[in-house]
Structure 1
Amino acid sequence: MRNFEKPTRSVVVSAQAMAATSHPSSTLAAINILQAGGNAMDAAIAACAVQCVVEPGSTGIGGDCFALYAPKGGDQVIAYNGSGRTPAALTVDWFEERGFTEVPRCSPSSVTIPGAVDAWTRLHADHGRLPLADVLAPAIAFAEHGYAISPRTHYDWAKEEALLAADEHAARILLIDGRTPRIGELHRQPELAETLKRIVREGRDGFYRGPVAEDMVTRLRELGGLHTLEDFAAAKGEYVTPITTDFRGYTIHECPPNGQGIIALMILNILSHFEAKGAPDDIDRVHIELEATRLAYAARDTWLADPSKVDVPIEEMLSDEMAKRLAGMIDLKKAITDLPPFELPVHRDTVYITVVDSERNAVSFINSVFYTFGSCIVAPKSGVVLHNRGQSFSLQRGHLNMIAPGKRPLHTIIPGMVTKNGRTEMSFGVMGGYYQAMGHAHLISKVLDYGMDMQDAIDLPRLVPASGFTPKIETEQTVPAATIAELKARGFQIVPTEEPIGGAQVIRIDWENGTLTGASESRKDGIALGI
């Protein structure tokens, strides 16, 4: 039970249907679609499209998408990988010839072919109910007539003002008189509105062929990119088989690699070898979760890549033998110092959406441009903000995740689903770039191990490993001083984070009472709503 004297929010409960997103307009759009006769897939796509307009730093049609879908609330979960590939002409040689040791962010070489629109149109055609025109109408209206800037959206937008100002088209479309739109100020994106209308008329071809594709390719090639119209025309996502692990009697479902859902499962597998004792924020438990994350992240940066191009050892990574071996490396007296090195940005921008409808169809849906405003490259006629997902590639020869033609990068965005006894129990996701795998495991453990209220679990102070070889941990300001002091005593290096870590949404189905319970991230602007 929530402590009502604390300045937080309650979980949301309803009987018919529910949506949870990180922006109020997005959640309301989902609810309106449900009330108009749409199902959970219609609502999720509508909500995502709205956020591509009103929260353009976090997501956009120039990004990628992953989804999990549980029809009728069963346990036969369907997964879709909507991540894009590199241009056919882009090789590691290209970077070496120019002296690059990593993929530059604000360059066309960081732009893989966006997969989101392909994912939306395929998922809508296969699982939606309403016409696509109805589903995208709310987003088109916001782009055409304007939307008010919300506080967290402004906060993220302002950090990228200089980069947006450096691109003439980004400056014209995304800034007002050369500055970030202020909280409460109206902003419009008429070019994006026309692009969304074209997608309504022409489906995926309205994005991947014709004027919109030509606009994106022209802009990328002007900046030195190797993208072609053929690259865009060939873009295609795919249905994939979810990967799972059992945790405390529940089955946790994630999309398989190239996404990092497998790393969330690895963390849970390690945690399953420890008894959940004491309070949820007990120092020993915090220590275990941090070390489990560091161990799993080291595995990720060694093995995670596009399985269509290289052999990713999925079974070995999820084996109990692996979990036992990694769990055995954790020493509660001191931090591990002999891990392989990895360096991570704390988190990046993404939107996660979950919807459950009256038929208990459950959708776990995530869409991202990676960094805030992605590459900060904007196609001038179509208004498409292009992501920088190619930055997740390695330029190290021989690495499984080495950049190569037509290859998908290691991906951070991961939707999650929980089932038990043939039924969907929970649809959830945690935004925040590389934090997401830890965020998934942290949320699931707090709810299933400790029986925490979902909103309370989301609101807990967050910590995240920032380095593998050195036990450097980034912490939010709300982490108790006593916890920080004890972590330091155990050898962890504490660095205060510059911004809030991640964001989560979750809906849980109560089959006995026939109701839904939802929670939404307090670090974001969004809400959960039910009908």
Structure 2
Amino acid sequence: YSLGPNSQGLATLQQLNIMERFDIRAMGFQSAAAIHHGAEAKRLAFEDRARYYADPSFYDVPADWLISKDYAAERARLIRPDSILQTVFAGKAPTRGDTTYFTTADKDGMMVSIIQSNYRGMGSGLAPDGLGFMLQNRGEMFALTDGHPNVYAPAKRPFQTIIPGFAVKDGAPWLSFGVMGGDMQPQGQAQIISNMVDFDLSLQEAGDSPRWRHGGGSEPTGEVTPGTGLLHLESGVPAATRKALVDLGWTIGESDGSFGGYQAIERWPGRYAAATEMRKDGVALAY
């Protein structure tokens, strides 16, 4: 489960739906094939993010279609195992009328997933007199192109990136988690789920595992970066995997520290597991 528009939560679900069409487990943990298919799923999902995610009070976001299994199958058919998609576009919808994350759970099985951000550093830099907090400036994420679903309008909420994550297994609450970091959030969430489901990693191992982050493509602000973008890999990704990704045509970016921040609680029968991020400040506490 994730948040719908005007947030970017659908991107996690879209990525996972596309990845589900492939046998990621058989490709191998931290293999070039697994990263390649995950990154291509991200590129496809983010084109839809740029095209369709906006305030549903002002725009009829085709959310059900975007997260449908049929649409995921259609998008997955675009991915080639031996080459990069040189151009990616948003799907054609059918016509119709600085972040802080934490999660907590109690003895009764209640789990809460929360994320908060002022956006650009200190937000707007303005603080209401006597209240002690900064106002956010997420209005920066509006598009200024006439006709764009996310174009600025009075009383309209801009596209925004903050998405607390929650997952169920067999219909029961399973995972309350988040990965901080702007565009990294849905990419990181999809990798966490894949690490646990496809590769049987534990809650902490899923977060400690080396991550990838793809940058480039279209943005909900209307900006477009041409080409196939940069695939950033953490230093722990094997050298053989890096070479194989280059051979597939990926341009590898620096390991620049922009791989998010992860916190999670996993529910087991009668108990919990908790995990925290090794990349930045974080703590897992039991009481």
TM over 0.5: yes
Relative distance call for 1:482 and 1:380 in structure 2 (3 A) is farther
Pick from 119, 122, 141 the counterpart of residue 370 of structure 1.
Answer: 119
Structure-to-structure mapping, 1:131-530, within 5 angstroms: 253-275=1-23, 276-340=25-89, 349-379=98-128, 381-468=130-217, 469-471=226-228, 472-511=230-269, 514-530=270-286
Task: Quote the offset at 1:381 in angstroms.
Answer: 4.6
In structure 2, the residue corresponding to 1:461 is in which secondary structure?
coil
Contact 2:163 2:185 in 1 (8 A): yes
> 1:399 is matched by which residue type in structure 2?
H
Task: Quote the offset at 1:378 in angstroms.
Answer: 4.2
Relative distance call for 1:380 and 1:498 in structure 2 (3 A) is farther
More helix by share: 1
Relative distance call for 1:483 and 1:376 in structure 2 (3 A) is farther
Q: Runs of at least 4 residues of structure 1 off by over 4 A? A: 378-381
Contact 2:191 2:211 in 1 (8 A): no
Contact 1:447 1:457 in 2 (8 A): yes
Contact 2:79 2:85 in 1 (8 A): yes
Give unpaired runs (5+ residues) of structure 2: 91-97, 218-225
Task: Quote the offset at 1:372 in angstroms.
Answer: 2.3
Relative distance call for 1:338 and 1:421 in structure 2 (3 A) is closer
Contact 1:476 1:500 in 2 (8 A): no
- Structure 1 CA distance, aligned partners of 2:171 and 2:233? 38
Contact 1:428 1:504 in 2 (8 A): yes
Task: Quote the offset at 1:443 in angstroms.
Answer: 0.5
- Give the number of aligned pairs: 270
Task: Quote the offset at 1:485 in angstroms.
Answer: 2.1
In structure 2, the residue corresponding to 1:366 is in which secondary structure?
strand
| More divergent stretch after superposition (377-386 vs 494-503) | 377-386
In structure 2, the residue corresponding to 1:484 is in which secondary structure?
helix
Task: Quote the offset at 1:478 in angstroms.
Answer: 3.4
Contact 1:267 1:293 in 2 (8 A): yes
The normalised TM-score by structure 2 is 0.89
In structure 1, the residue corresponding to 2:39 is in which secondary structure?
helix
- The C-alpha deviation readout for 1:307-333, integer Å capped at 9, x for no partner, is 011110111101222101111111111
> 1:509 is matched by which residue type in structure 2?
R
Contact 1:500 1:523 in 2 (8 A): no
Give unpaired runs (5+ residues) of structure 1: 1-252, 342-348
Task: Quote the offset at 1:422 in angstroms.
Answer: 4.1
- The C-alpha deviation readout for 1:485-508, integer Å capped at 9, x for no partner, is 222211111121433410111111
Task: Quote the offset at 1:415 in angstroms.
Answer: 1.1
- Structure 2 CA distance, aligned partners of 1:505 and 1:317? 27
Contact 1:477 1:496 in 2 (8 A): no
Indicate the residue corresponding to 2:221 in structure 1: none
- Structure 2 CA distance, aligned partners of 1:364 and 1:499? 24
Identity of aligned residues (%): 37
Task: Quote the offset at 1:438 in angstroms.
Answer: 1.1
Relative distance call for 1:442 and 1:383 in structure 2 (3 A) is same
In structure 2, the residue corresponding to 1:433 is in which secondary structure?
coil
- Structure 1 CA distance, aligned partners of 2:175 and 2:274? 9
In structure 1, the residue corresponding to 2:26 is in which secondary structure?
coil
- The C-alpha deviation readout for 1:11-36, integer Å capped at 9, x for no partner, is xxxxxxxxxxxxxxxxxxxxxxxxxx
- Structure 2 CA distance, aligned partners of 1:420 and 1:466? 31
In structure 1, the residue corresponding to 2:165 is in which secondary structure?
strand
- The C-alpha deviation readout for 1:127-177, integer Å capped at 9, x for no partner, is xxxxxxxxxxxxxxxxxxxxxxxxxxxxxxxxxxxxxxxxxxxxxxxxxxx
The normalised TM-score by structure 1 is 0.49
> 2:227 is matched by which residue type in structure 1?
T
- Structure 1 CA distance, aligned partners of 2:133 and 2:28? 46
| More divergent stretch after superposition (469-478 vs 352-361) | 469-478
